């Protein structure tokens, strides 16, 4: 029989994989659609990105701290461990970047759909928001990569 720690660890690893994989996959799709430049393509991809965030990223964002805290408890670690505090701080950074991205993605979707419906190119407002979306992705992904490193290395 598998113990609770192993099951929670599996859940934690799977949800982190979903979190990172969905993020990198949707970012790639959005970048490629943007390079294509056709508002109807961008609108369709942006709609799928918004759906992926709701269906995959949001549940993973919820599962990560719950399973992480359960692992801390089951393994007997102290929440005062430097690597755990650093990982929690990085999780907050990722969340602070992700929350505005969720709002921006919905707006990008709506603006692209309006451009497609009007037969017009993507608006300057769309391009400004896209730049913010792109820029916010860097600290978000960087923080998650940092968390992965801390989970594997567990320094000091």
Distances (CA, A) of 132 to 68, 79, 138: 30, 34, 10
pLDDT score of 155 more than 90? no
The residue-averaged pLDDT of 125-145 equals 97
Average pLDDT score over residue span 38-45: 98
What value does the mean pLDDT of the chain take? 96
Q: Is the pLDDT of residue 143 over 80?
A: yes
pLDDT at 1: 57
- Tens of pLDDT, residue by residue over 66-116, are 999 999 999 999 999 999 999 999 999 999 999 999 999 999 999 999 999
Whether 47 shows a pLDDT value over 80: the answer reads yes
Q: Once rounded to an integer, what is the mean pLDDT over residues 53-71?
A: 96
For 31-53, b/e burial (b = at least 16 CB within 10 A) is eebbeeeebebbbbbbbebbebb
More confident residue, 150 or 156: 150
The domains of the chain are located at 4-153
């Amino acid at each position: 029989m598998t113990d609770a720690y192993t099951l929670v660890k599996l859940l934690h690893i799977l949800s982190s994989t979903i979190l990172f994989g969905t993020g990198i996959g949707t970012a790639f799709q959005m970048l490629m659609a943007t390079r294509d430049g056709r508002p109807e393509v961008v609108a369709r991809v942006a709609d799928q990105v918004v759906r992926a965030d709701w269906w995959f990223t949001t549940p993973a964002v919820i599962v990560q701290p719950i399973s992480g805290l359960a692992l801390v408890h089951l393994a007997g670690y102290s929440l005062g461990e430097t690597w755990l505090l650093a990982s929690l701080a990085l999780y907050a950074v990722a969340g602070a970047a992700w929350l505005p991205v969720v709002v921006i993605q919905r707006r990008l979707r709506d603006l692209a759909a309006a451009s497609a419906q009007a037969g017009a190119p993507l608006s300057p407002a769309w391009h400004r928001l896209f730049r913010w979306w792109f820029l916010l992705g860097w600290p978000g992904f960087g923080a998650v990569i940092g968390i992965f490193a801390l989970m594997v290395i567990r320094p000091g």
